[in-house]
C-alpha cells in the first residue's frame, strides 16, 4: 500500500503515513461529476464525522499529504478543510494539522424560545433619533 519514496536528498523516507498515527478517511472522488472536488471531499469527511466513524480529537493528514493521496491540488484540500472548519467539524492547530472538533451530530437550531433569547440579549434595543440645533443626529438607546 504505502511505498518508500525518494526525496530530493537521495535518501529513502519511510512510508508516508507510518510516521504518525493519523486517521485517513475513505474518500472516493468522481472527476466526471458536476460537483466540485472540494465539495466532494468535504461532504465525505463530514459524513464520516457525523456518523461517528471518526472519533473526536483524531488528527487528519496535512493538506499536502491529503492532496498527494487524492491526486488533487493542495488548494482543493485546503478549501475542503476550510469548509469543514466553518461547519465546526474540524479545528486547525498550527504545526499539528487538522483535528476533528466533535464526532457527534451538529445540534439543530429551533425557533422554540428564540424570541425570549433575543429579548434577553437586548437586541434590538429601543432607539430614539433626535437632532441637535445644527441638524446632527443624536441617538438615545433605552
Is 68 contained in some domain?
yes
The 10s digit of each residue's pLDDT in 112-142 is 666 677 667 666 667 778 888 888 888 877 6
The whole-angstrom separation of Cα 89 and Cα 117 is: 25
Domain count, the chain: 1
Find the domain containing 30 and state its range: 5-100
Residue 11: what pLDDT?
45
Report whether 12 contacts 4 (CB < 8 A): yes
In angstroms, the CA 26 to CA 82 distance is 19
CATH code of 10's domain:
1.10.10.10
Contact between residue 55 and residue 92 where contact means Cβ atoms under 8 Å apart: no
Amino acid at each position: 500500500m504505502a511505498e518508500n519514496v525518494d526525496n530530493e536528498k537521495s535518501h529513502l523516507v519511510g512510508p508516508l503515513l507510518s510516521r504518525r498515527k493519523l486517521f485517513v478517511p475513505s474518500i472516493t472522488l468522481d472527476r466526471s461529476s458536476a460537483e466540485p472536488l472540494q465539495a466532494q471531499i468535504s461532504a465525505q469527511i463530514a459524513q464520516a464525522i457525523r456518523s461517528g466513524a471518526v472519533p473526536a480529537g483524531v488528527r487528519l493528514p496535512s493538506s499536502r499529504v491529503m492532496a498527494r493521496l487524492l491526486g488533487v491540488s493542495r488548494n482543493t484540500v485546503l478549501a475542503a478543510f476550510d469548509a469543514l472548519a466553518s461547519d465546526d467539524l474540524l479545528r486547525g492547530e498550527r504545526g499539528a494539522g487538522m483535528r476533528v472538533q466533535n464526532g457527534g451530530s451538529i445540534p439543530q437550531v429551533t425557533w422554540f424560545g428564540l424570541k425570549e433569547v433575543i429579548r434577553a440579549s437586548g437586541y434590538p434595543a429601543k432607539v430614539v433619533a433626535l437632532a441637535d440645533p445644527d441638524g446632527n443626529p443624536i441617538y438615545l438607546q433605552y
